[in-house]
Structure 1
Amino acid sequence: MNYESNPDHDQRPPNVTPAYIAAGHYSPSPATQPIIIQQGRSGGGLLLGTFAMLGWMAFGLCALFLVAQLLTLSDYFDTSGGITEKHHSGTKFADSKVAIISITGVIMDGEGYARSQIDRVRDDASVKAIVLRVDSPGGTVTGSDYIFHHLNKLRQEKDIPLVVSMGSMAASGGYYVAMAVGDQEKSIFAEPTTTTGSIGVIIPHYDVSGLMARYDVKDDSIASHPRKQMLAMTRPIPEEHRELLQAYVDESFSRFKEIVKLGRPAFRDDSAALDELATGEIFTATKAKESGLVDEIGFLEEAIDRAMELAHLDADNTSVVRYLRPATLFDMSGLMMSNSPRPDLSALLELTSPRAYYLASSMPPLMASYSMLWQDR
């Protein structure tokens, strides 16, 4: 062992010679390791850090509040109905327009996006024709009738042609609103894979009294009259109440068929033919054309061409436009889902209210209505 190269060799006492070390009479002690004493954070420093963190949190909350106020203020001064015009096809800067009004998803109250489009077209003097794009399984009786009423009124007031283009589905209430075409020939186009028809009315009711009995749960509601709970899920419907509800459905059904006659003149003198179709059955585009429920099988482009033809528009001097919701600051920042308002308690309570539906759906109308809260109305 070479002690001359050992760093500990320099630390041995002066009287210890190499020979003494070689004889094993001396072992150098290991080098002393430094001891570092780490001083903990003082109470004042911890308190200062806590206040700093709370300060940043308060700043963040204030920033969010300011953004919310700006959004509210922008909505207050917004006169566009919350929608923006987007060029679809044709000449972008033209004197005349064909406006595409979209009715999509489950129809609830008829307000919102659908009504905003109608109002926008009404106020635009350059719109010379309308293409109603329907992709909806229907919805509530009132909502469907509300949209039909305003579309029909729009067509009559502006005295311009309205042509329907059916998407993947235009059934029940979706077919109902399509009747705003009036008695114009060759005015309803269905795509080859469109599902339409489903002319009928339904009031959903689900009896969970058996399930409640299984878990010993009882309905102890206090009502002003037994009929107040006609559609209560906690009990079967008595025959007397069923007759009242059936009369309600029959009246809504009669109105549905009268509306169909407004848009399908051939059925005005042939109610029996309409009765054969108005069973709630859905139809393919081919069957619907054979039955007179639609006029042509074609896509949106064919419907646009037909609208231009009816309005005597020059394709080289016509712009086809549609209307979109503008993105909000929350949408762009990712803080909220685009066009997906989170349902609140009042909305959920509204969905549980008894109502009649012009709806074609394989799932309960309640669930179809709930899904509407997560899409554009």
Structure 2
Amino acid sequence: MNETGPPPPADTPPPGRPPVDPTGAMSPPSPPSPPFNVYPQMPAPPSAGQRVGRILGWSLTGFLLTCLIGSIVLNIYLALFVGSLTGGPHETAYESGAGPGRIVILPIVGFIDGRSHSFVRKSLAMLRQNRPTAVILRVDSGGGLVSPSDRILGEITRFKQDTGIPVVGSFGGLAASGGYYVAAQCDWIVAETTCTTGSLGVMASAFTVERLLDKIGVTPEVAIATGSPHKDVANNVFRSWTEADRSKLRAQLDHAHDRFVDAVFEGRKAHLETRERAVELANGDIYTSMQAVELKLVDQVGYLHDAIDKATALAGLSESERPAVNVIEPAARIGLMNMLGRRSSGPAPLTGEQLRRILVELNAPRLEYR
């Protein structure tokens, strides 16, 4: 007898037929799939108003971005420019050291004028606030104007008196006339082997344009007040000089020369026995470094590192305690054209007023320690 399984439920549809709705209805067939679209529908092109809006939006975005970048660049430039005007001289590292404190190199390079004095004055004021162990006056100059040279000497003399900090002179390839004058009060002077020094004296130069005016047919007229008949002496560019003009200027030169002799004697008093000896040396002659040592105008032939060694010793430190060495740099001058890498197309033409100033400047005798 064959055994079979239980019969299927009464509501189960036969095989191959869709399910039967409990209410007796047949379930509807599934909806057919939509046909595949080979070419998708493209979006509608923007209207004219939409295109104008997009262009305006892009233009506004570009303008704002340009303003932002320009503002950033301008603020950076203004910060650097203001910093260059107010920052003043600053120290940069020259060499490292193991000992306490620091030695500072104060350079005097090139023609000595009012800017040189301003740099030295600001540098020494900075060093008064943050005092070093010693100062090295690094000179590479053939001199310059009398008054700025004398002001620099005065600044260094007062700095030594007020602080007690030793100052060592270090001469490069040239330390003549005013270049020697500014270092006369140094506690010790070291000159490089090839240094040219000396030229202790004063000179002046002036120009007259009388012969030039004769060639071009110009006759100037210079009026002088009745009460100042000597106003024209050594003070008229439109005529050639007379002996009275030269004598007047020579008196000023002699006064400046006496001041030079006094400065040398006061600074080298321990080496020059009498002021007359300083007078003999201040004859305008130049000397090699070896000659200057023999004449006792210089203490040692050597280089900057020798001056650093001497400054270390004068500060009471041993060689193993040699401190770090910094050099004073002037404040950087920043211009907009320099930042943009552009140069001026050329100098502007002279105006009449500028030409008159040039003539007056050429006429005024310049007393120089050079």
Report the TM-score, using the length of structure 2 for normalisation. 0.68
Do 2:237 and 2:363's aligned partners in 1 also have CA atoms closer than 8 Å? no
CA RMSD of aligned residues (A): 3.5
Do 1:189 and 1:298's aligned partners in 2 also have CA atoms closer than 8 Å? yes
- Displacement of 1:274 in angstroms is 2.4
- Displacement of 1:157 in angstroms is 1.1
How many equivalent pairs are there? 291
Q: Secondary structure at the match of 1:142?
A: helix
Indicate whether 1:302 and 2:306 are aligned.
yes
Q: Which amino acid in structure 1 is aligned with residue 369 of structure 2?
A: L
Q: Secondary structure at the match of 2:250?
A: helix
Instruction: Report what 2:60 is aligned to.
Output: none
Indicate whether 1:189 and 2:190 are aligned.
yes
Instruction: Report what 2:120 is aligned to.
Output: 114
* Unpaired stretches in structure 2, ≥5 consecutive residues: 1-62
Name the CA shift for 1:332/1:72 in 2 (closer, same or farther; >3 Å): closer
Q: Who wins on radius of gyration, i.e. which is larger? A: 2
Q: Secondary structure at the match of 1:160?
A: coil
In the aligned structure 2, how far is the partner of 1:108 from the partner of 1:353? 18
Instruction: Report what 2:47 is aligned to.
Output: none
In the aligned structure 1, how far is the partner of 2:276 from the partner of 2:147? 26
Do 2:262 and 2:275's aligned partners in 1 also have CA atoms closer than 8 Å? no
Q: Which amino acid in structure 1 is aligned with residue 125 of structure 2?
A: D
Instruction: Report what 1:334 is aligned to.
Output: 341
Instruction: Report what 2:201 is aligned to.
Output: 200
Deviation larger for 155-164 or 212-221 = 212-221
Report the TM-score, using the length of structure 1 for normalisation. 0.67
Q: Deviations over 1:171-205 (max 9, x none)?
A: 11111101121xx4xx1111111111111111212
Q: Secondary structure at the match of 2:294?
A: helix
Question: Residue 92 of structure 2: which of 82, 86, 91 is its match?
Answer: 86
In the aligned structure 1, how far is the partner of 2:341 from the partner of 2:185? 38
Do 1:90 and 1:315's aligned partners in 2 also have CA atoms closer than 8 Å? no
Do 1:140 and 1:355's aligned partners in 2 also have CA atoms closer than 8 Å? no
Indicate whether 1:147 and 2:152 are aligned.
yes
Q: Which amino acid in structure 2 is aligned with residue 222 of structure 1?
A: A
Do 2:185 and 2:268's aligned partners in 1 also have CA atoms closer than 8 Å? no
In the aligned structure 2, how far is the partner of 1:291 from the partner of 1:63? 61
In the aligned structure 2, how far is the partner of 1:192 from the partner of 1:69? 46
In the aligned structure 2, how far is the partner of 1:315 from the partner of 1:134? 24
In the aligned structure 1, how far is the partner of 2:164 from the partner of 2:310? 16
In the aligned structure 2, how far is the partner of 1:137 from the partner of 1:244? 26
- Displacement of 1:267 in angstroms is 6.5
In the aligned structure 2, how far is the partner of 1:271 from the partner of 1:328? 44
In the aligned structure 1, how far is the partner of 2:171 from the partner of 2:343? 31
In the aligned structure 2, how far is the partner of 1:89 from the partner of 1:164? 18
Name the CA shift for 1:214/1:62 in 2 (closer, same or farther; >3 Å): farther
Question: Residue 290 of structure 2: which of 286, 289, 297 is its match?
Answer: 286
Question: Residue 83 of structure 2: which of 71, 74, 79 is its match?
Answer: 74
Instruction: Report what 2:231 is aligned to.
Output: 228
In the aligned structure 1, how far is the partner of 2:341 from the partner of 2:332? 11
Do 1:199 and 1:358's aligned partners in 2 also have CA atoms closer than 8 Å? no
Instruction: Report what 1:136 is aligned to.
Output: 141
Name the CA shift for 1:328/1:234 in 2 (closer, same or farther; >3 Å): closer
* Unpaired stretches in structure 1, ≥5 consecutive residues: 1-54, 361-377
In the aligned structure 1, how far is the partner of 2:204 from the partner of 2:230? 15
